[in-house]
Chains A and B, each alone.
Chain A
């Protein structure tokens, strides 16, 4: 698709405004409009601009008709409002704290109808105030399915990183110097508390790392990537295309019994497969089967991969001959 110019987009937006203004606006129209907007982030801005030009011709708020929500006017006009996005947040005391253990994945329904699916080894605090719904992630990761409530934005803070939505689904994982965000439905806005007014929008299927220093790295992937990254919600790890080193880090999030890579040559090898988060042994076995490495499960604290006594085969990718030895084991 060739890049549209700003004025081409503006003209299309004007056409939408004219159409919205006609009497019979249907759900199908709304869907079409959503599609149009989703195809290029600039379109949303053009639509707002065109719509503003059009509603500017409406009588001023004092005599506005009742379909217009009062709040927007009263508060926008009133101005001075406590929680300004500019200066970080005032977190009200009295939230509810949730904590999960290593290996524990918990789904928590919140009082506003939203749900939080909390990953292993996570601590977060939920405060549902009248003006906004706030979650602060102290450590770990959670996926939120947010109940729609335009009057109360849903705001997740992970360190310096802030993510805001109204009704949508997304995950936030707190990292050392920032946070990973994956959007599975709708749109969210992300920003770093330091970078006032500097927001990035992410739509379904996109993920991003936002640094505490406000650097934003957006990755647009297939929707299936997001699902894969969030397989933990179903207690699974989906490794498609991950390296062995990454996979090991992943498993170790969920288990006290750690995988230890003794043979560093294996670290960069790619591996596929879906495993249970609580089955590092199964993963060790798959490595043994695909790469012919020795796996030592003798220790109750650790599973060592690539232990000294490497069997005959050297190198990677001889799965056929090895799969024969791989017996399914129950636990």
Chain B
């Protein structure tokens, strides 16, 4: 948001554009892919690697305009990566591969996708769960829109210290998103039910 960002050349702008898209379309459903991986017998470390690799594929895209169903697209990347991995380990029974090959995910329903679009609200919940100092700084930065420098001045600390808290914040947020379990869906179904009871 600071002035510098607009001037940064194509790559930085592209990275940011894709990151925004991922934040809206993929992140809220990441836990879904993880759940699926777990059910397919993938260890958690391996799941981390697969997901990272899948994000890598997305990062290589010049554009995301052509992707009609972002979640399905992401899921198919992960599934293909997993298949490739399994095929390399020749000990895996063929049925397992066939099973995964034919398996489709529990695709989010339209309501759940809409819940995904509530990612922002969910994100605000996540800030509240950060450790105190970290959460305070993230809030000043993101909600109040202060620069890291201003936050440092305000708190009487160094900019490096603020940057470090933000680093911790990003790490914690990443953890929370990936372990998000049903939170986004719950949020939505709670609203659905409230609406539905009015019949």
How far in angstroms is the closest Cβ of chain A from B62?
4
Interface residues in A25-78 by Cβ distance below 8 A to B read: 25, 30, 34, 41-42, 44-61, 65, 67-69, 71-73, 75-76
How far in angstroms is the closest Cβ of chain A from B136?
14
On whether the beta carbons of A197 and B80 are closer than 8 Å, the reply is yes
Which of A10, A42, A80, A196: most chain B Cβ within 10 A? A10
Query: Which stretch in A16-24, A221-229, A241-249, A303-311 binds the other chain?
Result: A16-24
B33-69 CB mask vs A (1 if < 8 Å, else 0) is: 0000000000001001101111111111111111111
On whether the beta carbons of B163 and A19 are closer than 8 Å, the reply is yes
Interface residues in B165-187 by Cβ distance below 8 A to A read: 166-167, 169-171, 173-174, 177
Taking CB atoms, residues of chain B closer than 8 Å to A17 are 166-167, 170
Chief secondary structure at chain B's binding surface: helix
How far in angstroms is the closest Cβ of chain A from B33?
12
Query: Which stretch in B94-102, B141-149, B188-196 binds the other chain?
Result: B141-149
User: When A17-B170, A52-B27 are in contact, do A81 and B55 touch as well, CB less than 8 Å?
Assistant: no
B159 at interface, CB cutoff 8 A: yes
On whether the beta carbons of B170 and A52 are closer than 8 Å, the reply is no
Contact partner, B14, options A10, A56, A166, Cβ 8 Å: A166
Task: Give complex CA distance A46, B51 in Å.
Answer: 9
On whether the beta carbons of A6 and B49 are closer than 8 Å, the reply is yes
In chain A, what residue has the closest Cβ to B170? A14
User: When A18-B166, A52-B23 are in contact, do A45 and B58 touch as well, CB less than 8 Å?
Assistant: yes
Taking CB atoms, residues of chain A closer than 8 Å to B107 are none
Contact partner, B4, options A23, A45, A153, Cβ 8 Å: A23
On whether the beta carbons of A48 and B66 are closer than 8 Å, the reply is no
A271 at interface, CB cutoff 8 A: no
How far in angstroms is the closest Cβ of chain B from A80?
6
Task: Give complex CA distance A19, B60 in Å.
Answer: 22
On whether the beta carbons of A56 and B60 are closer than 8 Å, the reply is no
Task: Give complex CA distance A73, B19 in Å.
Answer: 11
Contact partner, A153, options B24, B63, B77, Cβ 8 Å: B63
Taking CB atoms, residues of chain A closer than 8 Å to B60 are 44, 187, 189, 199, 201
On whether the beta carbons of A51 and B173 are closer than 8 Å, the reply is no
Taking CB atoms, residues of chain B closer than 8 Å to A161 are none
Task: Give complex CA distance A290, B198 in Å.
Answer: 93
Contact partner, A56, options B59, B68, B123, Cβ 8 Å: B123
B133 at interface, CB cutoff 8 A: no
Task: Give complex CA distance A196, B159 in Å.
Answer: 45
User: When A49-B174, A150-B14 are in contact, do A79 and B23 touch as well, CB less than 8 Å?
Assistant: no
B115-142 CB mask vs A (1 if < 8 Å, else 0) is: 0000110011011000000000010011
5 A–B contacts from the bound complex (CB under 8 Å)? A18-B164, A18-B166, A45-B55, A59-B120, A76-B25
Give the A-binding residues of B (Cβ under 8 A).
Answer: 1-2, 4-6, 8-27, 45, 48-49, 51-70, 73, 76-77, 80, 119-120, 123-124, 126-127, 138, 141-143, 147-149, 159, 163-164, 166-167, 169-171, 173-174, 177
Give the B-binding residues of A (Cβ under 8 A).
Answer: 5-7, 9-11, 14-15, 17-19, 21-25, 30, 34, 41-42, 44-61, 65, 67-69, 71-73, 75-76, 79-81, 83-85, 131, 148, 150-151, 153, 164-167, 187, 189, 196-199, 201
The 7 closest A-B CB pairs, nearest first, are A45-B56, A45-B55, A56-B23, A52-B22, A51-B19, A18-B167, A14-B170
- Besides A14-B170, A54-B173, A166-B62, 18 more A-B contacts (Cβ < 8 Å) are A6-B48, A10-B52, A10-B174, A17-B166, A21-B166, A22-B148, A23-B147, A30-B11, A45-B54, A47-B59, A48-B56, A52-B20, A54-B19, A56-B177, A58-B20, A58-B142, A72-B20, A76-B65
